[in-house]
Amino acid sequence: MGVFSRISDIVNSNLNAILDRAQDPEKIIRLIIQEMEDTLVEVRSSTVKTIAEKKELERKVATVTHDRDEWHGKAELAITKGREDLAKGALQIKGKLQHELDILQRELEQINEGLAKQTEDVKTLQQKLADAKARELAMSARHQTATNRLKIRESLYDSRVTDAFSRFDQVERALDELEGRVDLYDMTKPHSIAEQIAELAADEKIETELAALKAKLAPKPEVN
């Protein structure tokens, strides 16, 4: 079943209100667009038929108008020839043609009014359809954006990613522990004989420099 039941429903429709009430707006907007397109095809087809009827009626009006004027001329000719009886008969035929012409002109007026309404309906339908398609594009863009954001969120909270970061942390902790063990070894390893002798020599050098510095700074005895 369609969203609209007749053309006036589409013309008077409030697209925002329809979508606000819909449980599945994207589905409804597609249905609306399809129905509007189908209705537009029907209205255009009907308008084409109306235009054809108008042209045919205009040809009839022109023919009857010509015949009426022609019989009016014949009545005038009969009068000039003194044939009042023929003139009367010509005027009777003219009167019938005038009556037919009046009917045709009323029909033509109705067709023109209907054609104006159909033309207005086509313009309104085209505008409504353009609005609906614009809404569909906007909804599609929002849907795609939301989908992309969801994918990013899911990837950020993916257990595989979490496990990978956890493994990185474990590796870093293992490296820290290994480096700590190396530092501890360097701090506690026994010195070799050469290293101990070098340390003694360094200590002796420091002691010598310290003694020289003390002697230099010591107060000198007074000379009598």
pLDDT tens digit string along 46-93?
889 999 999 999 999 999 999 999 999 999 999 999 999 999 999 999
How many Cβ atoms are within 10 Å of 11's Cβ, its own excluded?
Answer: 15
> What pLDDT score does 105 carry?
96
Residue 2's identity, in one-letter code, is G
Asked if residues 29 and 131 have their Cβ atoms less than 8 Å apart, the reply is no
The arithmetic mean of pLDDT across residues 166-186, rounded, is 65
pTM, whole model, 2 decimals?
Answer: 0.52
The whole domain housing 179 covers: 163-213
Asked if residues 50 and 115 have their Cβ atoms less than 8 Å apart, the reply is yes
Specify the number of domains making up the chain: 2
User: Is the pLDDT at 187 greater than 60, yes or no?
Assistant: no
Residues 128 and 169 in one domain: no
> What pLDDT score does 3 carry?
42
Residues 144 and 53 in one domain: yes
